[in-house]
Structure 1
Amino acid sequence: MTHEIAFLTCHQKETVVAPILEKQGFAIRVETSFDTDTLGTFTGETPRTLTQVQAALKKAQLATELTSCRFGLGSEGSFGPHPQVYLLPWNLEVLALWDQLEQHAVYAILGTSDTNFASEKVSSLDNAMAFAAKSSFPSHALILGTPADSFFAKGIGSSAEFQERVEAALRISPSVWLETDMRAHMNPSRMRSIQNTTEKLSALLLSNCPQCHLPGYGLTEMIKGAPCEICATPTRIARAEKWNCLKCDFTELHPLHEVAPAKNCDSCNP
């Protein structure tokens, strides 16, 4: 039996999402009547008022409301510094599948440093071209300026256009802001991250809660504190996985490591 999923997207994300979910009997129905940019933009023309998870869920719920489909899908990405290695860029993707009948959401979340996310202020064409070269341009589009600039432009995807726009902007301003365009249809690396997040969602849809039997049962937290093999002091090594159902709150702890190597102990190896 095929279930239809309404996917609220304006940026062609269905090209990587649909082939994966179709394997589980879902047919993707793209819904474009709602402008998802009204919920916030990467470049700040529209401020974001929801958290990333809330925005993904909002899109999924809107998809069911607009189409009367039982299932809705929403996607939301964010970009910033790596949570541990600050100088590395980081892409966090969230996919939310909303079941209107059960009033139940399944979330797939993926973090990756496989992103070209970058920005820089430049004052010459040479510097601009250097930024473009290290940003995987022209396969990945660029943004010139900020929304307050008269020369602001998104989705620049050709070298000739980029050079022309930069030269024109530098005649107006001594320096210009450049950044990577992180919208999915302009950024193959972002699209790859969405594809990988969909793989996680697909796995979660096959994982049912032992108590309420709804899908989405999976890992929600790594429980640290595996004891040192020598002194038994709790370490930062995970001792268990916490699996949780977001619908009925059923929870299990899956043991991982009974002991941790002494090299990971702050007491034995400060």
Structure 2
Amino acid sequence: MSVRRFRASASALVLAAVTALGLANPASAAGTTASTSAGTAAVGGYVALGDSYSSGVGAGSYIADSGDCRRSTLAYPYLWAAKKSPSSFAFVACAGATSASVAKSQLSALRPSTALVSVTVGGNDVGYADVMRDCVLSTEATCLKSVKTAVSRMNKSLPSGLDSLYRGIHAKAPRAHVVVLGYPRFYHLGGGCAAGLSEAERSAINRAADVLNGVLAKRAADIGFTYSSVVDEFTGHEICSRAPWLRSVAFPVHNSYHPNASGQAHGYLPALRSAL
């Protein structure tokens, strides 16, 4: 067996892991809302929207009633709210969310008085779960083709979905400071991974993340939202680095390809702070 491929006995675990990347339960997206003391840093309240990178999948310590949305007390929105004590905090981000499902299931948490909104979304719109499945389980050629398809979606279909969502956020919370956070590059190139994907595959996945982040930044700027990259924060802490803040294939499988607790606390939280 080539060192870059897992044994057949591990294939079921890997497939489950990459499927978990796109896990969605829109019915659970009504959210966990917690009120905190008034007279604080975000007068008017803070609403955390988005997908698994905002809900905290991979960080552990999931809130019991958040179900398959897997909202974590170690996720950056929860950490920020615990530190800054906004007048109210609505944590409605959900694993597997797309721009359409955020618009449908999460925007009810917004109010005209909402002062701060954060959101991560876009990865599920372009099929990142499919990309990782193809790259882990198939040939290099299949992987690169899958990445190319995802990049095409980023450039062609994603912008309209983001525009629609962002307009919806602005309509429901017209005075809010809206922070759109990006995604990290997955891989530290030339790092310590002895098996798994080839460098060509890892490079292609990283380049795709750059394209995705570019689209997010452009659509956010066009409507007047603040875009905050997390690439700098995660540099040196990607998969295959000495101290990764991102999980590769993990158990439980829903944690795979997501930031761990350090990634939330030292990657995403500083990126949110820097945008305020």
Per the normalisation by structure 1, the TM-score is 0.36
Quick one: higher RCO (CA 8 Å, sep 6+), 1 or 2?
A: 2
